Amino acid sequence: MDGFSYFNIFETKGIEYLAIITFFLMLIPFWIVLNKQVKIARQIQKVLGILSAKSLKVPQGLFYSENHTWSHLEQSGAARVGLDDLLVHITGEINLKSLKNPGDQIRKGELLAEIDQKGKRLRVFSPITGKILKTNGLLIESPEIINEDPYGKGWIYKIKPTNWISETSSCYLAEEATNWSTTELNRFKDFLAKSVVKYSPDQSMTILQDGGEICDYPLSEMPGEIWQDFQESFLGKPA
């Protein structure tokens, strides 16, 4: 046939091209499997999490009490009060039982609310004195908000303070609050090491990640005895 030329692919560089194509075709299933494994590992890491100073949120404009509550004075003169991020990450998913109603008076250090997780409880004490103006109804309908947004939608009460300046003078603010939060995390690690060995030695490894880091929500699977020890030994007396 005029104008037609035949080339034997195996007498040219065609064999090299076929080898390269075959190599990449073999890589595809390997890449798919590897990619799935990476995604699974990321999902596991997301679920387990690691409780570290870098993972904690410490907004700089809030006043942090030693009992791990926070307060923020609004332009209206009302102060929002809630739980700090460290306490939320320590306890995990919780229900919060409000013990005060709008119109009630409360003093600093007085029992304000109770944290409940499957019958295990912690007491929450007020960081300020004043009149209860409002409770956060969203926490009844969606208790997970306190874990997702403890400084925003997860506030507990709005209180009209009567002694704001003197009662917040002992609180932590700005960079001091960040440093205090890191110190408290290290103190919690020491507490947990002692309390778990004392009350639940069989769970001593379940709260740890590689490198000895603490898993997120470490108290969530701990028995009630450790919760009580946490209340008495870590949270201590009302601020």
pLDDT per residue as tens, the chain (239 positions): 455 555 554 455 556 656 667 766 766 665 554 454 434 333 333 445 788 999 899 999 999 999 999 999 999 999 999 999 999 999 999 999 989 999 999 999 999 999 999 999 999 999 999 999 999 999 989 999 999 999 999 999 999 999 999 999 999 999 999 999 999 999 999 999 899 888 877 665 555 555 567 888 999 989 999 999 999 999 986 66
- pLDDT confidence of residue 95: 92
Contact indicator for 64, 56 with CB cutoff of 8 Å: no
Please provide the distance, in angstroms rounded to a whole number, between the alpha carbons at the two ends of the chain.
100
Q: What is the pTM of this model?
A: 0.77
Alpha carbons within 13 angstroms on the beta-carbon side of residue 3 total 0
Measured over all CA atoms, what is the biggest interatomic distance in the chain, rounded to whole angstroms? Answer: 105
Contact indicator for 65, 71 with CB cutoff of 8 Å: yes
φ/ψ of residue 108, rounded to 5:
-55, 130
Determine the Cα–Cα distance for residues 163 and 81; give it in Å rounded to an integer: 15
- pLDDT confidence of residue 18: 65
- Tell me the torsion sign for CA atoms 195, 200, 202, 208: negative
- pLDDT confidence of residue 236: 80
**213: which DSSP letter?**
P
CA distances for 174 relative to 72, 99, 101, 171, angstroms: 12, 30, 31, 10
Give the H/E segment covering residue 58: none
Determine the Cα–Cα distance for residues 215 and 201; give it in Å rounded to an integer: 16
Contact indicator for 83, 124 with CB cutoff of 8 Å: yes
Contact indicator for 226, 194 with CB cutoff of 8 Å: no
Q: In CATH, what class is 49-239?
A: mainly beta
Determine the Cα–Cα distance for residues 154 and 144; give it in Å rounded to an integer: 9
